[in-house]
Amino acid sequence: MGDKPRAVALHERSSAPAPRVPAPRANPDPVPEPEPRTGEPHPVTRFAEFCYRRLAGDYEVDEFGFDREFTDSVLLPAARAVYEHWFRVEVTGAERIPADGGALLVANHSGTLPWDMAMTQVAVHENGRRLRGLGSGLLFGTPVLGVLARKAGQTLACGPDAERLLRAGELVGTWPEGSAGLGKPFAERYTVGRFERCGFVDIAARVGVPIIPVSIVGAEEAHPKLAEVWPLARLFGLPYFPVTPTFPLLGPLGAIPLPTKWRIDFGEPIEAGPGCRFALAERVRGTIQRTLRELLEGRANPFTG
């Protein structure tokens, strides 16, 4: 018998049915189209819309000149960058800031330039509230700075304005040392001077809101005032013309503060009941002074904390 001839074997192999190969599918696993993102618009879009509204005059300010949108979009982000990355502010006692309703925050004042006002406003905002500061006539009479202060929610330090804000449930901040505290010599740092105005006690008592002492460490070294030039102060109508390690030596660059480490402490609320206004004001001042000493005892270096 033997094997099949080679030609027959090749014929049988060639006539065998070919294995079935499945036809390719057009799109076996279609990838779903990405859905358009919803929610917050792109930051560039928000900024463009903000600029358009500004140019069109489509924005509102309250009766005191507070511009909420401008503050939230421009002023607060700039101040928060300084707060977090330059002064690296640490806050204690934030739980004592009322979650709602009015209160009068009373703080020590220092540092040659009012950085302490701005940093306290950021600290309060970081805890869900807004602080409406009471500023001096000098502040609001300063070009540009006065306008920005108004837009940030500050108003002139006068009783009627403060009472209206407190009755509306706002947090109001005051720095009773005034320009004397702001411009104190570096040799007198962290010494809380006698309050120039005790009217805040009467205001708190009339409206029925608590007083919260606020103690600020770090501002004194941000612009150390080594001396002052009285002739220039009188020439420009200023309460003082400071000489610091960087001003007037560096000109406008001298306005940049040194990168000190800050601490802000919110103290226990003090009820402003009936009694001697001077005694209560002194109690608030003494509380701030005592807290400053405690904060300084735990500080190793003005620049590292």
Q: The tokens 């390690």 sit on which residue?
A: 245
Residue 45 counted as domain residue:
no
Give the pLDDT of residue 52: 78
Give the pLDDT of residue 9: 47
Residue 86 counted as domain residue:
yes
Give the pLDDT of residue 122: 98
Residue 188 counted as domain residue:
yes
DSSP alpha helix (H) spans, the chain: 6-15, 43-56, 68-70, 76-81, 115-125, 137-141, 145-151, 159-167, 178-182, 199-207, 219-222, 230-236, 277-297
Residue type, 287: T
Contacts of 124 by beta carbon, 8 Å cutoff, 6+ apart: 97, 105, 130, 131, 171, 173
Q: How do 90-92 and 155-156 pair as beta strands? A: unpaired
Expressed as residue numbers, the domain containing 200 is 59-224+261-297
Residue 87 counted as domain residue:
yes
240 touches 179 (CB < 8 A): yes
Residue 247 counted as domain residue:
no
| Domains contained in the chain, number | 1
Give the pLDDT of residue 246: 96
Sheet holding 211-217, edge to edge: 90-92, 263-266, 211-217, 103-107, 171-174, 131-135, 155-156
Give the pLDDT of residue 123: 98
Residue 44 counted as domain residue:
no
Give the pLDDT of residue 10: 42
Q: How far apart are CA 265 and CA 259, in angstroms?
A: 19
Give the pLDDT of residue 14: 46
Residue 18 counted as domain residue:
no
pLDDT tens series, the chain, 305 aa: 445 554 444 445 445 555 555 555 555 555 455 554 556 677 778 778 888 788 887 788 999 999 999 999 999 999 999 999 999 999 999 999 999 999 999 999 999 999 999 999 999 999 999 999 999 888 888 888 899 999 999 999 999 999 999 999 999 999 999 999 999 999 999 999 988 778 999 999 999 999 999 999 999 999 999 999 999 999 988 999 999 999 999 999 999 999 999 999 999 999 988 778 899 999 999 999 999 999 999 899 999 98
Give the pLDDT of residue 17: 54
Residue 181 counted as domain residue:
yes
**DSSP-derived 3-state class of residue 266:** strand
What CATH number corresponds to the domain at position 184?
Answer: 3.40.1130.10
| 3-state SS track over 215-243 | EEECHHHHCCCCEECHHHHHHHCCCCCEE
Torsions phi, psi for 241 (to 5 deg): -120, 105
Length of the chain as a residue count: 305
What CA–CA distances, in Å, run from 293 to 87, 168, 289?
Answer: 20, 35, 6
ω into 22 cis (within 30 of 0): no
223 touches 244 (CB < 8 A): yes
Give the pLDDT of residue 7: 47
Give the pLDDT of residue 181: 93
The pTM score is 0.83
